[in-house]
């Protein structure tokens, strides 16, 4: 067998064994550990073939063999990366078949463009802090990294960039998707206000908020104590000390006396707006899960709004493209809490190599 035939065979074996229970990059790590004779070049080529296969989503799923789809995926991803300038793509490929649940998409998402966007890996984004954008640009240039400047605090980098080895002071930047950064436009903080980041995870939105207004009184919470430990570490690296934290399950009744001027609810969701980074999710997601996420979101949102001061704002965020998790949850809150949507909506990152999100401010 030639080297390429070996790669193809390894990719087929991985696809046959992979059941979606682990993220694909973890599974690949384990697979290569069991096959130590594969060098770094082999691992890179095989991984690329496997990812290209999953980037095809449902396209020709029942019509072509796994091997044919690996080869087609690989070809189409290369054409997409080259922006179709140098590689010709057959005209009759039904790209809209890649993403199968088009009728479930939020209204402002273009189904065809969204579907085809799976063929291209999104960028790695950093949000620069402390006026360090120019200094970071110099370091990137010195390291020969090709980057794009998307705004005064936003740089788009190739996905494989080892940013922590290039910019060693971690307080200069945060890794944060460009669409996630845009959510900050809905934060209108004033000094002294009480803010609650209710599903904070490791605190990406909180750091964005504090960079806008360091003098808010911030409380963070999440149901996972391990992720709150990560948040403490990340806040320390970012130079943030003044905040309170709690571990809370927000599906249960919340017994807290405090009330907040603003609540950020970056809700647990399907993550479908970020599947360009984890294209294997397309093949393993079940449509019924959308409804389960919606119920979870409505339950959490219904509980947290009870802690909002009169006239306060709820900023509801998902990284989902599904209407049921986005507009329908907002409509449910409008019907049940008296809050009304003030601004925001879908953030369509898929058109340009970023995640897609939904974010609205209600008060
Ligand atoms: C989309 S993530 C938040 C991301 C974060 N805001 C950021 O910017 O990095 C959703 C978070 O909700 C948390 N979560 C899920 N179910 C929850 C529950 N019942 N109560 C509280 N938090 C929950 C998850 O642990 C997860 O960290």
Tens-level pLDDT at each residue, the chain (363 residues): 898 999 999 999 999 999 999 999 999 999 999 999 999 999 999 999 999 999 999 999 999 999 999 999 999 999 888 765 566 666 789 999 999 999 999 999 999 999 999 999 999 999 999 899 999 999 999 999 999 999 999 999 999 999 999 999 999 999 999 999 999 999 999 999 999 999 999 999 999 999 999 999 999 999 999 999 999 999 999 999 999 999 999 999 999 999 999 999 999 999 999 999 999 999 999 999 999 999 999 999 999 999 999 999 999 999 999 999 999 999 999 999 999 999 999 999 999 999 999 999 999
DSSP 3-state assignment of 316?
strand
First-to-last C-alpha distance (Å) of the chain: 65
* Residue 34 main-chain phi, psi, to 5 deg: -75, -15
Euclidean distance between CA atoms 242 and 215, whole angstroms: 9
327-337 vs 288-304: helix crossing angle, rounded to 10: 40
Q: Which two tokens stand for residue 342?
A: 């003030």
Residue for token pair 């990284």: 319
Closest to 271 (Cα-Cα) out of 257, 282, 283: 282
Determine which helix (DSSP H) or strand (DSSP E) holds 180, and give its type and residue range. helix 178-182
Residue 183 near residue 357, CB atoms below 8 Å: yes
Euclidean distance between CA atoms 3 and 344, whole angstroms: 51
Determine which helix (DSSP H) or strand (DSSP E) holds 72, and give its type and residue range. helix 66-81
- The whole-angstrom distance between residue 224's C-alpha and the CA centroid of its chain comes to 19
Choose one of 180, 181, 182, 199 to mutate for the ligand 1 pocket test, by most ligand atoms within 8 angstroms of C-beta. 199
ipTM: 0.98
Euclidean distance between CA atoms 350 and 24, whole angstroms: 21
Relative to the CA of 318, which ligand 1 atom is closest? 1
Relative to the CA of 180, which ligand 1 atom is closest? 8
Euclidean distance between CA atoms 363 and 305, whole angstroms: 10
Which residues are known catalytic residues?
Answer: 319
- Residue 62 assigned to a binding site: no
Relative to the CA of 317, which ligand 1 atom is closest? 1
What string of DSSP letters covers 32-46? HHH-TTS-HHHHHHH
Closest to 115 (Cα-Cα) out of 321, 326, 305: 321
Choose one of 200, 233, 268 to mutate for the ligand 1 pocket test, by most ligand atoms within 8 angstroms of C-beta. 268
pLDDT of amino acid 205: 98
Could you give the domains of the chain? 3-93 (no CATH), 124-175 (3.30.70), 179-362 (3.40.50.150)
Ligand 1 surroundings by CB, under 6 angstroms: 199-202, 204-205, 222-224, 227, 248-251, 266, 268, 300
Residue 179 near residue 347, CB atoms below 8 Å: yes
* Alpha carbon of 180 to ligand 1 centroid (Å): 14
* Alpha carbon of 201 to ligand 1 centroid (Å): 5
Report the number of secondary-structure helices (H) and strands (E) in the chain.
13, 11
pLDDT of amino acid 88: 63
- Residue 266 assigned to a binding site: yes
Relative to the CA of 202, which ligand 1 atom is closest? 9
- Residue 242 assigned to a binding site: no
**Conformational region of residue 239, where left means phi above 0, alpha means psi within -120 to 50, and beta covers everything else:** left
Give me the helices (H) in 247-326, please: 280-284, 288-304
pLDDT of amino acid 38: 93
* Alpha carbon of 335 to ligand 1 centroid (Å): 24
Euclidean distance between CA atoms 356 and 225, whole angstroms: 27
Choose one of 223, 269, 315 to mutate for the ligand 1 pocket test, by most ligand atoms within 8 angstroms of C-beta. 223
């Amino acid at each position: 067998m030639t080297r390429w035939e070996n790669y193809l065979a390894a990719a087929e074996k991985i696809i046959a064994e992979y059941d979606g229970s682990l993220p694909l990059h973890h599974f690949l790590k384990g697979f290569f550990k069991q096959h130590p004779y594969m060098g770094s070049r082999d691992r890179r080529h095989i991984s690329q073939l496997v990812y290209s296969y999953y980037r095809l989503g449902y396209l020709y799923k029942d019509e072509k063999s796994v091997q044919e789809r690996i080869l087609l995926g690989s070809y189409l991803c290369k054409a997409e990366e080259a922006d179709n300038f140098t590689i010709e793509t057959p005209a009759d490929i039904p790209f809209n078949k890649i993403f199968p649940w088009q009728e479930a998409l939020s209204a402002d998402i273009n189904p065809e463009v969204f579907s085809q966007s799976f063929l291209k890996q999104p960028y790695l984004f950093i949000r620069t802090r402390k006026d360090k954008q120019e200094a970071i640009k110099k370091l990137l240039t010195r390291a020969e990294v090709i980057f794009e400047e998307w705004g005064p605090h936003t740089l788009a980098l190739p996905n494989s960039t080892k940013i922590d080895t290039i910019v060693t002071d971690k307080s200069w930047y945060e890794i944060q998707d460009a669409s996630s950064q845009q959510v900050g436009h809905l934060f209108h903080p004033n000094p002294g206000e009480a803010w609650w980041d209710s599903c904070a995870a490791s605190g990406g939105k909180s750091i964005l908020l504090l960079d806008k207004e360091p003098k808010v009184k911030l409380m963070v919470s999440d149901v996972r104590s391990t992720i709150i430990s990560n948040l403490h570490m990340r806040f320390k690296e970012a130079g943030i000390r003044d905040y309170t934290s709690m571990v809370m399950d927000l599906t249960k009744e919340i017994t807290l006396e405090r009330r907040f001027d603003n609540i950020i609810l970056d809700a647990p969701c399907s993550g479908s707006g970020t599947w360009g980074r984890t294209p294997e999710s397309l093949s393993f997601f079940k449509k019924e899960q959308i409804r389960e996420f919606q119920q979870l979101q409505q339950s959490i949102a219904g509980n947290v709004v009870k802690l909002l001061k009169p006239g306060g704002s709820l900023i509801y965020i998902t990284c989902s493209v599904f209407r049921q998790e986005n507009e329908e949850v907002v409509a449910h809150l409008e019907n049940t809490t008296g809050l009304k949507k003030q601004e925001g909506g879908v953030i369509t990152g898929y058109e340009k190599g970023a995640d897609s999100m939904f974010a609205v401010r209600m008060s």
